[in-house]
A = this chain, B = another copy of it.
Amino acid sequence: MYTGAASCAPCTSSVPGGGEGHDHLIRKIANFSSLSVQEVSRLREVGGKTETFGRGEDIVKGERPRKVFVMTEGFAIRYRLLEDGRRQILTFLIPGDLCDLHVFLLQSMDHSIAALTPTKVVAVETRDIVSMVFQHPRITAALWWAMLQEEAILRERIVALGRRAAEERIAYLLCELFWRLEAVGEIKGGSYVLPLTQEQLGDALGLTPSYVNRVLGKLRVQDVIDFGKDRLEIRDVKRLTQVAGFDGSYLHFTPPPEEMRRYFESMEEGAPEDAA
């Protein structure tokens, strides 16, 4: 069994095992379930060519999606533009995130994805994903989990936008990114790479750049965080968490219920019917 780095607590060791492939993804999944060595290598071999995008470049435009992307390096956003130029950033994509696990069913994307920094993605053929899904229940479960997490993140954003004040929102987002980056081993000490302008932060949180600036300033003066030059330093995690009212349980970095694990394992060897 490959268990990877299964803790939620700080941990900065690098991922074991070979190439540059899906290490972040595998590591992220390891927070949730343990895949067998076989499964891990099956996952690894599901790779297409690596594609590279420059800062600001669109990874997926509005049109019909063809492939699934796995982020392997960089920082990207999903976003939507309104006709009058208003922009809303929907999510941030970090290494290990799946771009569009099943959008191939759709006629068109309802939003775009752009790289904020030089970004690498592995493009996987839809067909490879689908056949893997039908062959490896445990991998399927892991991918489902990733989708669930993604959805939970969206819901949490809704809560933030609907019911939290500016300061809370900002603190919340910073907490969330901390946990997510943590889960793929991208946290060094108390800080992480955050290649965002204040305007982009605002576009994610429904705020204007100047106001974001003021709030950041306030948090800096209070020595809670220091956000500058593409890097966020968290000076006081406790305070930040508290300001945010953050509770990370929605990220579900926690193994699934025991029976479910068993159930998926039992499907591994054929007969899906005879589950305990």
A105 to chain B, nearest CB (A): 5
Q: What 1/0 mask marks residues of chain A from 195 to 211 whose CB sits below 8 Å from any chain B CB?
A: 00000000111100000
Contact between chains at B127 and A275 (CB < 8 Å): yes
Contact between chains at A272 and B83 (CB < 8 Å): no
- Is residue A145 contacting chain B, with contact meaning CB distance below 8 A? yes
Contact between chains at A245 and B82 (CB < 8 Å): yes
Inside 8 A of A110's CB, which chain B residues have their CB? 152, 155-156, 249-250, 252
Inside 8 A of A108's CB, which chain B residues have their CB? 249
A4 to chain B, nearest CB (A): 18
Surface stretch bound by B, among A49-57, A116-124, A129-137, A185-193: A129-137
Residues of A within 8 A of B (CB): 64, 78, 80, 82-83, 86-88, 90, 102-108, 110-111, 126-127, 130-131, 134-135, 137, 141, 144-145, 147-148, 150-152, 154-159, 161-164, 203-206, 245, 249-250, 252, 254-257, 260, 263, 267, 272-273, 275
Contact between chains at A205 and B104 (CB < 8 Å): no
Contact between chains at A157 and B158 (CB < 8 Å): yes
**Residue from B90, B126, B151 within 8 A of A159 (CB atoms):** B90
Given contacts A154-B154, A155-B154, A159-B88, whether A257 and B127 have CB atoms under 8 Å apart is no
